[in-house]
């Protein structure tokens, strides 16, 4: 049994510089591509640049800055930034769409489309699969000795943080579906998956409020504050994703109505 009450459980320190460099490079490449797109006369809202920069910044802050609160509360703030807030902000920037619009026509573009429309990519972007990888990973992390192991093993900690970010990106990408994907899903289905994932996240937070991860000991106030942050923070991000779905659905309905009206006008 490890007493973590006097130690931080944030991301691995030696990787902080790497995360910072990768985040900065990613934002720089995104802004460069968006600028090139605008210079040739295409429309690309600057709010997407800001969203990607904020998302990458959230991930970098979690890796570099020691967030306030007790060890568990600080860790949970990292979890929200790396696994939920950062991925949502990056996905809102539609990075895959930008890449497709800036990659020259030819082998590079056709190869990228082949990967996006491949069977493995289609499977990974099934909303239920994304939810299982994301929420299932969190249940394994917090309800098994993995959390305690992560605290004592830098390699395990690195792998866990990479998984949290990757699974968060995959789930958000699969639910929001703002970038071009081969398969389409109806709003009711996406809403049900989002609701189920949110429920799994909330139940886990409530369990952590009373029972720390196996093999760890935290002060009750720290444990409860971290669990509450997980609960309410997860709800807030879930509501934000629901708003994204609603806005996308409203836009699709409006475009469909406009097409129908044009067809009727031509027929008349």
pLDDT by position in tens, the chain (length 268) = 555 554 444 444 567 888 999 999 999 999 999 999 999 989 999 999 999 999 999 999 998 888 888 999 999 999 999 999 999 999 999 999 999 899 887 777 888 888 888 888 899 999 999 999 999 999 999 999 999 999 888 889 889 999 999 999 999 999 999 988 888 899 999 999 999 999 999 999 999 999 999 999 999 999 999 999 999 999 999 999 999 999 988 877 766 676 665 666 666 5
Task: Please check whether residue 52 is in contact with residue 75, taking contact to mean a CB–CB distance below 8 angstroms.
Answer: no
How far the first Cα of the chain sits from its last, in Å, is: 77
User: In terms of residues, how long is the chain?
Assistant: 268
Radius of gyration over every alpha carbon of the chain, rounded to an integer in angstroms: 20
Apex 130 CA angle, 135 and 80, nearest 5 = 45
Domain ranges of the chain: 2-267
State the SS3 of the chain.
CEECCCCCCCCCHHHHHHHHHHHHHHHHHHHHHHHHHHHCCCCCCHHHHHHHHHHHHHHHHHHHCCCCCCHHHHHHHHHHHHHHHHHHHHHHCCHHHHHHHHCCCCHHHHHHHHHHCCHHHHHHCCHHHHHHHHHHHHHHHHHCCHHHHHHHCHHHHHHHHHHHHHHHHHHHHHHHCCCCCCCCCCHHHHHHHHHHHHHHHHHHHHHHHHCCCCCEECCHHHHHHHHHHHHHHHHHHHHHHHHHHHHHHHHHHHHHHHHHHHHHHHHC
pTM attached to this predicted model: 0.89
């Amino acid at each position: 049994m490890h007493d973590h009450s006097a130690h931080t459980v944030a991301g691995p320190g030696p990787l902080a510089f790497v995360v910072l460099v990768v985040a900065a490079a990613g934002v720089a490449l995104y802004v460069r591509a968006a600028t090139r797109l605008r210079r040739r006369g295409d429309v690309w809202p600057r709010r997407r640049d800001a969203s990607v920069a904020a998302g990458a910044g959230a991930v970098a802050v979690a890796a570099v800055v020691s967030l306030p609160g007790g060890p568990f509360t600080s860790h949970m703030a990292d979890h929200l930034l790396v696994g939920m807030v950062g991925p949502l902000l990056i996905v809102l920037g539609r990075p895959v769409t930008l890449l497709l619009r800036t990659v020259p026509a030819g082998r590079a573009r056709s190869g990228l489309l082949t990967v996006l429309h491949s069977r493995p990519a289609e499977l990974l972007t099934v909303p239920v699969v994304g939810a299982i990888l994301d929420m299932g990973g969190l249940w394994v992390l917090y309800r098994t000795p993995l959390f305690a192991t992560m605290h004592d093993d830098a390699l395990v900690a690195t792998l866990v943080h990479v998984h949290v970010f990757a699974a968060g990106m995959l789930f958000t990408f699969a639910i929001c579906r703002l970038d071009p994907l081969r398969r389409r899903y109806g709003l009711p289905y996406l809403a049900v998956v989002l609701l189920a994932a949110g429920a799994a996240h909330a139940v886990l937070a409530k369990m952590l409020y009373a029972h720390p991860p196996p093999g760890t000991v935290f002060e009750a106030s720290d444990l409860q504050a971290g669990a509450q942050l997980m609960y309410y923070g997860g709800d807030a991000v879930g509501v934000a994703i629901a708003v994204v779905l609603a806005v996308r659905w409203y836009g699709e309905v409006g475009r469909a109505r406009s097409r129908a009206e044009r067809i009727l006008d031509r027929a008349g």
